[in-house]
Amino acid sequence: EKCIPSVLQSDYPRDKMEIILVDNGSTDGSADFARSLLQKEQINFKIIENNENKGWSPANNQGARVATGEILLFLSNDMEVDKNWIKEIVKIFSLDPKAGVVQCNSISMWDRKTLDSGMNYLDRFG
């Protein structure tokens, strides 16, 4: 309920956005909620509904296979993004055409002053 609205509040042009939701077998009505919201917003979107949870990486790969954009941004359903998020990522790729991956800082949902790595990180070797 917070992820997609935060993306929609982005200052990035909507005509350049494509939202792909891969629903991993949820039973809480997430796909229907997203479909209803995105249809109202009149934005280019696709929803892939899996009958079971295939895992985070396979779901990302499913979305990537149907994506038409040049830059793919992956989010989990529990994330919210800053309105400048997309523009900043696009800017990094335009400044360094050799860049293949960009990782943003994550801020804790419970303490907005604390960085939250989710116990994961990328070093210079990936």
pTM of the complete model beyond 0.95:
no
The number of folded domains in the chain is 1
pLDDT per position as a tens digit, 4-61? 999 999 999 999 999 999 999 999 999 999 999 999 988 999 999 999 999 999 999 9
Residue 71 lies in a domain: yes
pLDDT per position as a tens digit, 60-92? 999 999 999 999 999 988 888 999 999 999 999
Class of residue 22 by CB neighbours under 10 A (exposed 0-12, middle 13-18, buried 19+): buried
> Residue 123 above 70 pLDDT?
no
Residue 92 lies in a domain: no
Residue 125 lies in a domain: no
pLDDT band at 124 (very low <50, low <70, confident <90, very high): low
Residue 96 lies in a domain: no
The CATH number of the domain holding residue 47 is 3.90.25
> Residue 102 above 80 pLDDT?
yes
Which of the two residues, 39 and 124, has the higher pLDDT score? Answer: 39
Q: What is the model's pLDDT at position 125?
A: 67
Q: What is the model's pLDDT at position 121?
A: 60
Q: How many CB atoms lie within 10 A of CB 91?
A: 12
Per the structure, the complete domain to which residue 29 belongs is given by: 3-81
Q: Tokens for 92?
A: 């990094």
Q: How many CB atoms lie within 10 A of CB 97?
A: 7
Residue 73 lies in a domain: yes
Residue 121 lies in a domain: no
Residue 117 lies in a domain: no
